């Protein structure tokens, strides 16, 4: 069980957007070069972030991707959910009468994890990055 590289890319892209320019749109080409990653693949991740409502896309010349107004509230969990989906990380495939104890334990663990990641804001980490 691993987070995909796509999540990695998306988190870093968000971090860059928050740290760099809250208002001016940044093109995929710039982001991709900054991160050393393929443009076309990165754009897929950004599209997902747009659909999740975390950023906005500005088309046309001088276009690119821009943060939405409420960017300060965006958490790691938001980005992860946008990329990986919101499905539970555990789904019991057996049919032992409605309730599965194994599932209960793992889901409880997952909720704890999500609470932690939901409290970690991208903006906070970005500030720490600037300070260094």
Partner DNA sequence: GACAATGTACTCGGATAAAATCTGTCCGAGTTTTGAGGG
Partner DNA sequence: CCCTCAAAACTCGGACAGATTTTATCCGAGTACATTGTC
Which residues of this protein are in contact with a second copy, per CB under 8 A?
A: 1-5, 7-8, 11-12, 15, 35-37, 76, 80, 84, 87, 89-95, 101-102, 105-106, 108-109, 112-113, 116-117, 120, 125, 128-129
Tell me the closest approach of the beta carbon of residue 109 to DNA, in angstroms. 18
Q: Which is nearer to a second copy, 50 or 84 (CB)?
A: 84
Tell me the closest approach of the beta carbon of residue 96 to a second copy, in angstroms. 8
CA distances from 98 to 43, 88, 92, 93, 94 (A): 41, 17, 10, 11, 10
Rg (CA), the chain: 17
Rounded to whole angstroms, how far apart are CA atoms 46 and 124?
A: 21
| Interaction partner, residue 82 (DNA, a second copy, none; CB < 5-8 Å by kind) | none
The count of other CB atoms within 10 Å of the CB of residue 87 is: 8
The count of other CB atoms within 10 Å of the CB of residue 36 is: 6
Tell me the closest approach of the beta carbon of residue 17 to DNA, in angstroms. 12
| Interaction partner, residue 127 (a second copy, DNA, none; CB < 5-8 Å by kind) | none
Q: Which of 15, 19, 20, 57 binds DNA (CB under 7 A)?
A: 57
For residue 48, give the nearest of 7, 5, 19 by alpha carbon: 7
Asked if 28 touches DNA (CB under 7 A), the answer is yes
Bridge partners, 75 (sequence order)? 121
């Amino acid at each position: 069980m691993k987070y995909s590289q796509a999540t990695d890319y998306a988190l870093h892209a968000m971090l860059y957007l928050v740290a760099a320019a809250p208002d001016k749109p940044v093109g995929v080409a710039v982001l991709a070069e900054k991160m050393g990653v393929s443009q076309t693949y990165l754009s897929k991740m950004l599209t997902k972030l747009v659909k999740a409502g975390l950023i906005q896309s500005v088309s046309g010349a001088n276009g690119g991707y821009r943060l939405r107004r409420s960017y300060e509230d965006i958490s790691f969990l938001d980005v992860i959910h946008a990329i990986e989906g919101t499905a539970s990380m555990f789904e019991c495939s057996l049919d032992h009468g409605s309730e599965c104890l194994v599932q209960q334990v793992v889901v409880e663990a997952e909720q704890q994890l999500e609470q932690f990641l939901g409290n970690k804001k991208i903006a906070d980490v970005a500030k720490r990055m600037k300070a260094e």
